[in-house]
Structure 1
Amino acid sequence: MAFDLSAMLRHLILFNALCVIFVASFTVIKPGPQYPPTKGKVWPKPQQQTEEDAYYKYSTSFSFEETGQTCDILKAAIDRYNNVLRRTHLILSKYSTDLLNQATDLSLDTNFKGEVRKLQINLKYPCERYPHLDMDEKYSLNVSAVSTLDSDSIWGVLRGLETFVQMFYMSDDYNDLLIYGTQIVDFPKYSHRGLLIDTSRHYLSLATIFKTLDAMEMNKMNVLHWHIVDDQSFPYQSKKFPALSKAAFHPKLIYTADNIQEIINYATFRGIRVMPEFDVPGHTSSWGIAFPNILTQCYRGNNVVGLGPMDPTKNATYEVINDLFQEIQERFPDKYLHVGGDEVEMGCWASNPEINKFMEDHGMRGTNELHSYFMSKIIPLLGETSKPIVWQEVFDESVVLPNGTIVQVWKNREAYEMANILKAGHKVIYSASWYLDHVNGGGDWSKFYSSDPRSKVSAYYPELNIENIVGGEACMWGEVVNDSNMISRVWPRASAVAEILWSGSDDKDNYFYYVRELSDISCRLEEHVCRMNQRGVKAQPASGPGFCATDNN
């Protein structure tokens, strides 16, 4: 019998509400944080971990030592994580109890084994230039006085470095950074672990995008899905068609070729792919500033009332798309290009007499077939350079999709939808339960934590190859976020998605197991939020009252 974690959470909320009714005459509130943070627990949770009673403290002379292959990505990561440890150690001086003569003498504890002096990094094979869908992120980590990190790939080394740094925690007296002796073997459950950002509804500064990438690195997410343009604005600056960015909100609110390269470089050095999306034929009103001729005239009766989606009947439409796609492929090294295909305003097509004649001449029975016709013409424009990713509507309309196409599922009945896509031989990325613009108040991260896409499918379709569900994405659509609230709106809510995609979920059919597990998750997330705050990511509180030692308090 499949276990529905979402239902469990609803029942747990109802159970808690009933408890409140029975004791409504008074409320007991205990002092201290609602969920006491753990100490040195890694987020996302490693696949295999053995923790000892023995522990060590950070040495101010600590060093990273390269014992295998090296490259600029590794050297930059060593500098970055050295700075993280040093800055965290500096925070101690602000809270240390030495001044109050309340410090703990660690030498009196038999489990204390001295200082961690170095981490030896053994990268076994030369670095790859860019991260990719099939990259190897597995690593093994052994924490002791001389710790070791081993991985076949630079991407695994990056994940292991993040784990190692997260394992340090502040002692109760705030005098030392401590770390438990630990052995870890870790790897992701899903290869595509993404976050969608939307820079059309609100422009996001480079600083916000860089900070987003910092947070993604801390959560072991590896795909920045960049929904760069939409109806509202076109901030991408095209070399081939410079007039397109006249649809930016302001001439300075654009992403130049240099800006894009900066973002790609920043992401690459953190093991993160940058996957662009240029959504067609819908969500394209902003294209009409430069190319009104490629958009459909929408009619009300005999009168034109505006422009709608792209016009699939005109050769000029495909010529513009072809040239722009070629330019995008040159600027973005990722092997996937998201071409959209969702939410097409087909009523506009149906209102246009020329389009109706085109459909009649081509034996089309409706606008769904016209949409299929359009997508079947633009996908081959990618050639051998890129593989397409499409929203699920494209699959639903029976477009013949080439091998290697990934379909992104975002609507209801997701298990049924994913099953049909798998049966057709395509790969899936899942987003249906992970729309971050749907806000339910504080602590709503738990609703995101309750969805594991492979478990959703295997519960009803055990015969299918669920390995072709290659991952998922948390989606931060931009209608109500900008530079002022982007980071706090996304984090730590996306952290819940990140852990499901890296660690997977436990399928135990045990109600009380999940009650206990949810409390443990909350305590681990409390520590992780503090960790993000300490490293400059202004994540909002996860679950309620608490305290975090930062240099901003």
Structure 2
Amino acid sequence: MRHRDRSSLTWWWMMCFHVVPFFPGSTAGPPYSYTVFQGVDAPGSDIEHANTKDIDALKSLCNNMTSCKGFNSNGWIKSDVSVRIPTKGCDVYLKVPTFGAPQAPLLPQPHTFTMGATTLSIGSKFGFVTDCQSVLLQQAFDRYQLLIFSHSYTSKSSSPLDTVYVVVHSPGEDLQLETDESYELNITASPPNSTLKAATIFGAMRGLETFSQLVTYNFAENAYEIHNASWFIEDEPRFQHRGLLIDTSRHFEPLRVIRNVLDSMSYAKLNVLHWHIVDTQSFPLQSLKYPKLWNGAYSSQERYSIEDVKDVVTYAKGRGIRVMPEFDMPGHAASWCIGYPDICPSSDCPQPLNPATNATFDLIEGFLKEMADVFGDNFIHLGGDEVNTKCWDKNPEIQAWLKMKNFTDDDAYKYFVSRAHQYAKNEQKTSVNWEEVFNHFGSTLEKNTVIHVWLNSKTAAKVVAAGYRCILSNSNRWYLPHLTVTWEQFYDNDPLASIEDAQQQKLMLGGEVCMWGETVDASDIQRTIWPRAAAAAERLWSLANVTDHDEMFLRLQSFRCLLTRRGVAAAPVENEEARSAPPGPGGCLSQ
């Protein structure tokens, strides 16, 4: 177990605390709230005894001490606060910056919200109601009814909450980068009433997820409840592109697993599945135009038909998630050559793809045209990374072609990228490329190109300064196979960290966490993704100043258990390495 200034705690404890908010500029005091854990042992570092046990006096003292992280009800001021399993010990008060509002038990945290102090009962005939004629929205209602109300229950309240009325201003079902995901959720306690307003059905889906996280089941009362009503939430994502890459070339992922990944993404409000579907190791994807391509699959059972892919795209859209395919070229493409050897330099040195023959470009053009109809997203990722041209140097035909064109290897690399971009453009698709393409060719690239930074986060500032849009996935922070990178490091990774100019900041589309497939398959993919991906999801959704580790830790513990209750195999938050098993017996929230 990694040693921290805090240990695991349960959502049950969260139900035991109350939040006392202070608002900047008001007469109530400085911008801190205090989360109270009742009757727990707190072995934190004691600074001093305050010579008082008066809680208000202790708060006032702690407010004015930068080193104070909290105190206990015995009067000890502390430089860190840890909590343990409930005992008969004293209460612990954790100091939390409010940034103008108290903290909510939601992940990702909404942009603005207010809450009250009433527990609101849910009626036994509760339902979502709307005038919006959308099949996708109705399917979302059905899905969230099952997610929220997993227990049979009754309502003993004479005045329960029976309905959430959902208002959608633009009922269209087109989902692209520009789609508005904002929403407003209002839950009043007296009288019980709730309205969810959204610009689009996809914004309404984000609001449904927020509502679902506010509902808890009371086993003692056999009732569903919403605590801290009334709630008023206004929310929207900080970044448009909030993605997760999965790699089905290094290990094949069954369709059921991909659907489960999509479900889990929607719970964290991620909205892009970057499907790195083929690579050097295998080509599992069917092409009707080039049927020999999937000869590169690992086996006849580790393949995706065209209809399979369409089903995934439809399933993802039903959860407000775009599917951006990646067909990496000219490198990372050896599996293409199994079915079509003419497009590769040689059988024993197969990549990068052969730029000296029209057969290569005819196949790429036809294949991208076909896939443009299968994947509806406006973005198509064309890779372009890690291009080692040694195989070109060994091929006499390619060498003769280079000489005829008066090309260097780098010229041929750019020529290849430019032709692939044109084919994508012909299909009204925006090309996305990995960072190396920008590093090699810079501002000579077509301005509509999106650059996906992974090698060095500081390159992002250069990309947007050159006028290109950017996606961040720096490998030292947002690569999920790096098991020793902690959730805190995921959380602290801000796409705008090195970009100060306001206009250039608008070119940062967001980011992705990357689940490369060398060491994951159906057995461990979800516990490698979660819960660390949730830390990145909040960074991409919530306001930039929502950064407190202690406060996030509480919500991340809760969210991890929400995932497990919903059938997502998320690993414990407190691990020496990501995806490690629980260290021993214990409740979900104490791991």
Do they superpose with TM above 0.5? yes
Question: Which letter does structure 2 place at the counterpart of 1:192?
Answer: H
Pairwise CA distance, 1:491: 1.0
CA contact (8 A) 1:40 1:168 kept: no
**Is residue 518 from structure 1 mapped to residue 549 from structure 2 by the alignment?**
yes
Matched residue, 1:300 = none
Matched residue, 1:497 = 536
CA contact (8 A) 2:467 2:504 kept: no
Superposed, 1:59-98 pairs within 5 Å as 59-66=123-130, 68-87=131-150, 89-90=151-152
User: In structure 2, how many angstroms separate the alpha carbons of the residues matched to 1:537 and 1:76?
Assistant: 20
**Is residue 404 from structure 1 mapped to residue 448 from structure 2 by the alignment?**
yes
Pairwise CA distance, 1:307: 2.2
TM-score (norm 1): 0.82
**Is residue 320 from structure 1 mapped to residue 363 from structure 2 by the alignment?**
yes
**Is residue 178 from structure 1 mapped to residue 218 from structure 2 by the alignment?**
no
CA contact (8 A) 2:108 2:268 kept: yes
Pairwise CA distance, 1:116: 1.7
Change in 2 beyond 3 A, CA 1:424/1:29: closer
Question: Which letter does structure 1 place at the counterpart of 2:328?
Answer: D
User: In structure 2, how many angstroms separate the alpha carbons of the residues matched to 1:211 and 1:350?
Assistant: 44
Q: 1:533 aligns with which of 561, 564, 583?
A: 564
User: In structure 1, how many angstroms separate the alpha carbons of the residues matched to 2:245 and 2:378?
Assistant: 17
User: In structure 2, how many angstroms separate the alpha carbons of the residues matched to 1:65 and 1:373?
Assistant: 55
Matched residue, 1:156 = 203
User: Deviations along 1:174-206, whole A, 9 cap, x unmatched?
Assistant: 743321320000000000000000000111011
Question: Which letter does structure 2 place at the counterpart of 1:547?
Answer: G
Matched residue, 2:160 = 115
Matched residue, 1:24 = none
Pairwise CA distance, 1:541: 1.2
Change in 2 beyond 3 A, CA 1:358/1:271: same
Question: Which letter does structure 2 place at the counterpart of 1:472?
Answer: G
Question: Which letter does structure 1 place at the counterpart of 2:565?
Answer: Q
Unaligned runs of 5+ in 1: 1-8, 20-27, 94-104, 108-112, 298-303, 508-513
CA contact (8 A) 2:491 2:535 kept: yes
User: In structure 1, how many angstroms separate the alpha carbons of the residues matched to 2:288 and 2:156?
Assistant: 62
Say which structure, 1 or 2, has more relative contact order (CA 8 Å, 6+ apart).
1
Aligned-pair identity in percent equals: 36
User: Deviations along 1:318-350, whole A, 9 cap, x unmatched?
Assistant: 001001001100111111111110011222223
Change in 2 beyond 3 A, CA 1:173/1:520: farther
Question: Which letter does structure 1 place at the counterpart of 2:436?
Answer: E
Secondary structure at the counterpart of residue 312 of structure 1: coil
Matched residue, 1:420 = 462
Pairwise CA distance, 1:448: 0.6
**Is residue 352 from structure 1 mapped to residue 383 from structure 2 by the alignment?**
no
User: In structure 2, how many angstroms separate the alpha carbons of the residues matched to 1:169 and 1:186?
Assistant: 21
Change in 2 beyond 3 A, CA 1:11/1:62: closer
**Structure with greater helix percent:** 1
Matched residue, 1:3 = none
Secondary structure at the counterpart of residue 478 of structure 2: coil
User: In structure 2, how many angstroms separate the alpha carbons of the residues matched to 1:494 and 1:403?
Assistant: 30
Matched residue, 2:178 = 134
Secondary structure at the counterpart of residue 148 of structure 1: strand
User: In structure 2, how many angstroms separate the alpha carbons of the residues matched to 1:428 and 1:246?
Assistant: 34
Change in 2 beyond 3 A, CA 1:419/1:29: closer
Matched residue, 2:271 = 222
Q: 1:232 aligns with which of 262, 275, 281?
A: 281
Unaligned runs of 5+ in 2: 7-43, 46-81, 88-93, 95-101, 576-581
Matched residue, 1:143 = 187
CA contact (8 A) 1:279 1:340 kept: yes
User: In structure 1, how many angstroms separate the alpha carbons of the residues matched to 2:360 and 2:400?
Assistant: 18
Matched residue, 1:390 = 433
User: In structure 1, how many angstroms separate the alpha carbons of the residues matched to 2:178 and 2:304?
Assistant: 28
Secondary structure at the counterpart of residue 115 of structure 2: strand
Matched residue, 2:482 = 438
CA contact (8 A) 2:435 2:453 kept: yes
Secondary structure at the counterpart of residue 522 of structure 2: coil
Pairwise CA distance, 1:65: 1.2
**Is residue 374 from structure 1 mapped to residue 416 from structure 2 by the alignment?**
yes
Q: 2:85 aligns with which of 17, 23, 31?
A: 31
Question: Which letter does structure 2 place at the counterpart of 1:538?
Answer: A
Matched residue, 2:587 = 547
User: In structure 1, how many angstroms separate the alpha carbons of the residues matched to 2:326 and 2:368?
Assistant: 10
Aligned length: 486
**Is residue 338 from structure 1 mapped to residue 378 from structure 2 by the alignment?**
no
User: In structure 1, how many angstroms separate the alpha carbons of the residues matched to 2:258 and 2:552?
Assistant: 27
Pairwise CA distance, 1:172: 7.9
Secondary structure at the counterpart of residue 266 of structure 1: helix
TM-score (norm 2): 0.77
Change in 2 beyond 3 A, CA 1:39/1:191: closer
User: In structure 2, how many angstroms separate the alpha carbons of the residues matched to 1:11 and 1:465?
Assistant: 37
Pairwise CA distance, 1:106: 9.6
Question: Which letter does structure 1 place at the counterpart of 2:566?
Answer: R
**Is residue 484 from structure 1 mapped to residue 523 from structure 2 by the alignment?**
yes
**Is residue 469 from structure 1 mapped to residue 524 from structure 2 by the alignment?**
no
**Is residue 259 from structure 1 mapped to residue 323 from structure 2 by the alignment?**
no
CA contact (8 A) 1:46 1:184 kept: yes
User: In structure 1, how many angstroms separate the alpha carbons of the residues matched to 2:239 and 2:3?
Assistant: 27
Change in 2 beyond 3 A, CA 1:250/1:121: same
Question: Which letter does structure 1 place at the counterpart of 2:207?
Answer: G
User: In structure 1, how many angstroms separate the alpha carbons of the residues matched to 2:414 and 2:4?
Assistant: 43
